[in-house]
Amino acid sequence: MPELPEVDLVTRHLNKLALGRRIMSARLIRPRLSPFAAAEEFAGLLSESKIEHVHRRGKHILIDLNTGRTLITHLRMSGRFVMLPAEMPEPKFSHAQFTLDNDHVLHFADQRHFGMMKIVETDSLFEAKELACLAPEPFSDEFTAAYLHEQLKRSKRNIKETLLDQTKVCGLGNIYAAEALFLSRIRPRLAANKLSAKRADVLHGAIRDVLAESIAISESVPVFPENIGGNFYGENADGEWRVYGREDEPCVVCEEPIKRIPQGGRSTFFCRKCQSR
């Protein structure tokens, strides 16, 4: 599932490929992708509009149009944007299609069918239910160590699952949450409200570090119109995560085998020795 750095990359590449382009026509092929507008309304609201700005809030991609509307997209598990010449056959699982004024079609392809699109007024974009509830952006001034500590204090759940709650901390998913906990030497099963202010401060720095590290690496990813941003996911500086996906492999710090435990229906990877408190 794409996390903040991956969504950020898709956003930047969409800007490079589609900024200033006119959407000549739009087609919603899988109605459940956009339960808020029927196919006809979807097409009507987006056709004949110019792409003015592509930005991001949390893991949502926001495409501002010159009509005063914004298309909100969440990639969820497997959604991706694909830009192909109009004469090319459509990709598998193409659930929405935008024919542009450069004889290309921007497809939204989604193998697992969890993606979401919603059209809203740009003026009230951040009042949309999906965005209004989100925690501050991790690199914003509002996301301070004190803010993080306050959010954690209110949660009795374990800290790993709390970090995945986008209303408390925005942008982390299963990979970056595990990596940030490892860097801050925090036991993933620790109750969130038991973390001291001092350790919350360390965690705050680690969250920014793991996200910034991946965003920096993603800067050198070439633009692939046929799979926008798609090849980056799962890579980092050494082509390997510190703990994520490394069950039974030696810890990069102490060589203790990395453990995998289920938490909230997902796997958490951690080092028992480095993350003992």
Catalytic residue, chosen from 21, 157, 194, 266, is: 266
Q: Which residue is nearest to Zn ion (CB)?
A: 251
Is the CB of 27 or the CB of 273 nearer to Zn ion?
273
Q: How far is the CB of 253 from Zn ion (least distance, A)?
A: 4
User: Per the structure block, which two tokens stand in for 116?
Assistant: 């979401």
Catalytic: which of 12, 56, 57, 59?
A: 59
2 is catalytic: yes
- Toward Zn ion, which CB reaches closer, 197 or 254? 254
259 in active site: no
Is 3 annotated as catalytic? yes
The nearer residue to Zn ion, 19 or 253, going by C-beta atoms, is 253
Closest separation in Å from C-beta 274 to Zn ion:
3
85 is catalytic: no
Q: Which amino acid belongs to residue 168? A: K
To Zn ion, the closest distance from the beta carbon of 26 in angstroms equals 50
Give least dist CB 31 to Zn ion, A: 48
Positive or negative CA dihedral for 210, 213, 216, 222? Answer: negative
CB of 175 to Zn ion, least distance (A): 18
Question: In the complex, which residues of this chain contact Zn ion (CB under 5 A)?
Answer: 251, 253-254, 256, 271, 273-274
Would you please indicate which residues are annotated as catalytic (active-site) residues? 2-3, 59, 266
